[in-house]
Amino acid sequence: MLVDVHRACVARPRGTRLVVLSDFDGTLADFDVDPTLPRIRSDAHAALVVLSSASSVSLGLVSGRRVSDLTSRAALPSEVYMAGLHGLEIARPGRAWRHPALDGADAAARALADALSPAVAAIPGARLEFKGEAVAVHTRGVSLSARAALRTRVDTIGRPWEISGRMRRLTGHDVVEFLPDAIWTKGDAVHWIARDIASQTGQVPWVIYFGDDCTDEDAFGASNVSVAVGHRPSTATFRLNGPAEVAAALGAIAGVAADGAR
């Protein structure tokens, strides 16, 4: 599918602006049992740096991580859009946006994290991540036989926060996450970024999005071309096997951008 991704970028409508957006974990970075360890692959980083310098391209990352975490972990030039907490916060040079649902959400998230902590600590390999206004329970390090029971326990503990409208549950790849209860997805973040790019450049955005998780499906629907990473069922236009192929595809797209500039 690498050739297909390349061809799609070459064949995009004349005069449109190429917008390359990507998830982080499992897409630009390989997974790790410890969610604090993943870093962007060096080959993907090199391709993204080239893309960020192309005058005909806009670039962004859309992740469940916080913008501050994403920025330090990806180490990309400042002109790159960074969307964190599944798009609830978005940053670019000269502008930072936060969804109103984040205001005051830290108290509910902290209370839920405190309630979840004993259950998570009781399961070997489980990890609790407090993100300020969100809480995630990572199950990648948990034995397969124990994961279902842990998720059931997490759901039971989190249900009062859901019923009261304080938090909403989001299931991802080996993670259960609770976010502020807002009707907002990664797809909304893609639309936000595309509108901002159109306003800044005066060009019609043509978006290609890379992502590995079921939480990326909304972003796929908001993009012109979508690329699923991995083997789970997906509505994406194309599919790549893993982060190494994503890095190769980004390198090919960087070549397209360079050719377009010339």
What's phi and psi for 198, nearest 5 deg?
-60, -40
Angstrom distance (rounded) from CA 107 to CA 87 = 20
Which parts of the chain fold into alpha helices (H)? Answer: 2-10, 42-52, 67-74, 105-121, 144-163, 186-201, 217-221, 243-261
In the residue annotation, 23 being an active-site residue is answered as yes
Q: Point out which residues pair with 225 in neighbouring strands.
A: 208
CB atoms within 10 A of CB 51: 24
Look at the chain and count its residues: 262
**57: helix, coil or strand?**
strand
Indicate which residue of 4, 23, 106, 212 is catalytic: 23
Q: Point out which residues pair with 207 in neighbouring strands.
A: 19
The overall longest dimension of the chain from CA atoms, in Å, is: 59
Angstrom distance (rounded) from CA 138 to CA 159 = 18
Query: What is the rounded (10 degree) CA torsion for 82, 99, 196, 18?
Result: 40
- Write out the catalytic residue numbers: 23
